[in-house]
Structure 1
Amino acid sequence: MSLRISTYEDTGVAVITLDRPKRLNAIDLDTAAELAAIWRALRYDDSVRAVVLTGAGERAFCTGIDRDAVVPQPDSPYMQDDPLLTVGPKANDLWKPVVAAVEGMACGGAFYLLGECEFVVAGAGAEFFDPHTTYGMVSAYESVLMAQRMPFGDAARMMLMGSAERIGARRAHEIGLVSELTETGGALAAAEACAAVIAGYPAEAVQGTVRALWSAKEAARAQGFAQAPHLISLGNLPPDRQAELFAGRRSGGYRVR
């Protein structure tokens, strides 16, 4: 198993941990399937009233799709398989509140997860970035999700600057991507404390509020997602060229703001 789930009956909180620290908690196909299964199972577990999502280790919350994952694609620009589209709670019809606890890197496909959490708590060492453009890939779904969580200019800068720049935890807090900033290593405890408060309220009222909040965003997100497959088909470099750019990446060639 590449995930760990801990449930606390006394608080009504479940903690889901991406548990692939040696791969910086990147999501392979098995992990994607496990995430979808867990979210759907939590729909039926009334003892869990709030959820915390985090990553194992200190280096990363999640670094998106595992580079070794092989995802066969239909031979058509009108059809596309993206395993990350089903890794989030809302994609699996879970309307219980989910709080993200971020330490270290959160980048690329991690935004499929952060984009479907109610809010984000981050340690002081957290960093957010999207390397897609650097490696000849269109940031489509990620851009749609982050444009709904950040001021447009900050989202555009993060997506277009690629791996050359990272948004530090303090800046992420200033622009509202992160709702609470803790000392390094403190994000999980702070997220659990928030989740425990929420879980203590009547579940029907909480879940109705979650649903109401997301109804304000659904139309714009659906329109953006509808464009994404075509933009990816048109804008992505061939996989072999992407691999060349990734293999030639420079280490340390970025700045944090």
Structure 2
Amino acid sequence: MTENIKVERDGFVGIITINRPEKLNAITPEMAGALVAAVNDFNTDDGIRCVILTGAGEKAFCAGSDIGTLDSYETPWAFRNRPDYCDAIRALLKPSIAAVNGYAFGGGLETAMTCDIRIAATNASFAAPEVKLGWIGGGGMAVNLAHAIGPSNAAMMIMTGDAIDAAMAERWGLVSRVVPQAELLAEAKRIARTIASRAPIAAETAKLNLRAAWEMSIADAIGYERDLQTICFATDDAKEGRAAFKEKRAPVFRRR
């Protein structure tokens, strides 16, 4: 691990903070490795039911890759096969929330988009600025933006490289909610605790189901959804949910 990736546990909620505010939380290869380690820890920790990803300081969520490190790759092929921090977050099995404060540029935007839910502070801004430097994003920029905000808006962002503010991001559907900066982490925790109060297997299965909905035909996605529903229905937590409903009490889920 590295001091630039801060990992905390708050009850059933895990928090990963990109902690390099003096460099706008730009990601180095060492930090990418630490994100992989953090995800692996949370994936194997049954005590964690939802994960928040945020950035330290008031200026940035994440400004993407540290451009100063990019020339350290010996060949373009080595660059292609580098450990990718977006892939690390994409490997997270638990439901995830991006709490976006300040800049979410380049790989920072891609990182936010790998999370299941995105909320933003009023000072947040979002950009795919790689075209201004001679390349394009490589962490899922096009596919995730096109799904989130539509092909035309995605093209506008990717081809101009210009930023949009939090209000525009909310109108376009890139984020679910915009809150004052001082309330951002508290709001993310409120949502995370709500998710963590639900049946954990069902919540994780819902994440799988939503991803499948992107990738499958409608008929295949519905069939897959029914299979996942059947798996959930057979769990002890589902039995507990039905019993609690009948007994008019709050369910106690145990991830079984």
For 1:191, which of 188, 191, 203 is the aligned residue? 188
- Taking only the aligned residue pairs, the percentage that are identical comes to 31
Question: 2: distance between equivalents of 1:14 and 1:22?
Answer: 24
Name the structure 1 match of 2:167.
170
SS at match of 1:149: helix
8 Å CA contact 1:72, 1:81 repeated in 2 = no
Take 1:19 and 1:101, find their aligned partners in 2: how far apart are those partners? 14
3-state SS of paired residue (1:52): strand
- What is the SS of the residue equivalent to 1:4? strand
In the alignment, structure 1 residue 66 sits paired with structure 2 residue 66: yes
Unaligned runs of 5+ in 1: 221-257
Cα deviation for residue 81 of structure 1 reads 2.1
Offset at residue 115 of structure 1 (A): 2.2
Distance 1:75 1:173 in 2: 36
Show CA shifts across 1:119-143 (max 9, x none): 1010111000111111111234322
1:88 and 1:112 in contact (8 A); partners too: no
Larger Rg computed on CA atoms? 2
Matched position secondary structure for 2:189: helix
Q: Is the 8 A contact 1:24 1:61 kept in 2?
A: yes
Correspondence 1:27 to 2:27: yes
Distance 1:75 1:135 in 2: 16
Once residues 218 and 88 of structure 1 are traced to their aligned partners in structure 2, the CA distance between those partners, rounded to angstroms, is: 20
State the partner residue of 2:8: 6
What secondary structure, in the 3-state scheme, does the structure 2 residue paired with 1:6 have? strand
- For the aligned residue pairs, the C-alpha RMSD in angstroms reads 2.0
Correspondence for 1:179: 176
Higher helix proportion, which one? 2
TM-superposition CA deviations, 1:39-82 (whole Å, max 9, x none): 111111011100110000010000100012145254669x9224
Shift of 1:109: 0.8
Q: Do the aligned residues in 1 keep the contact of 2:122 with 2:167 (CA within 8 Å)?
A: yes
Aligned pair partner of 1:119 in 97, 117, 120? 117
- CA distance in structure 1 between the aligned counterparts of 2:148 and 2:196, rounded to whole angstroms: 23
TM-score (structure 2 length as normaliser): 0.78
Q: 1:218 to 1:113 in 2, by over 3 A?
A: farther
Partner of 2:207: 210
| Separation of aligned partners in 1, 2:76 and 2:15 | 39
1:195-252 deviations in Å (ceiling 9; x for gaps) = 00000111011111011001122469xxxxxxxxxxxxxxxxxxxxxxxxxxxxxxxx
Q: Structure 1 CA distance, aligned partners of 2:87 and 2:29?
A: 10
Identify the structure with bigger relative contact order (alpha carbons < 8 Å, sequence gap 6+): 1
Unpaired segments ≥5 residues, structure 2: 218-256
Contact preservation (8 Å) 1:84, 1:112: no
Q: Which whole-Å deviations, capped at 9, do the CAs of 1:70-122 have from their partners, x for residues lacking one? A: 45254669x922432555322x3x22100000111001011331121001010
Native 8 Å contact 1:73 1:81 kept in 2: no
Give 2:50's aligned residue.
Answer: 50
Alignment of 1:52-131 (within 5 A): 52-70=52-70, 71-74=72-75, 80-84=80-84, 87-90=87-90, 92=91, 94-131=92-129
Number of residue-to-residue matches in the alignment: 213
- Provide the C-alpha distance between the structure 2 equivalents of 1:216 and 1:177, rounded to a whole number of angstroms: 18
TM-score, normalised with respect to structure 1:
0.77
Determine the structure 2 residue equivalent to 1:161.
Answer: 160
CA distance in 1, matches of 2:74, 2:216: 27
CA distance in 2, matches of 1:73, 1:145: 29
Distance 1:111 1:179 in 2: 15
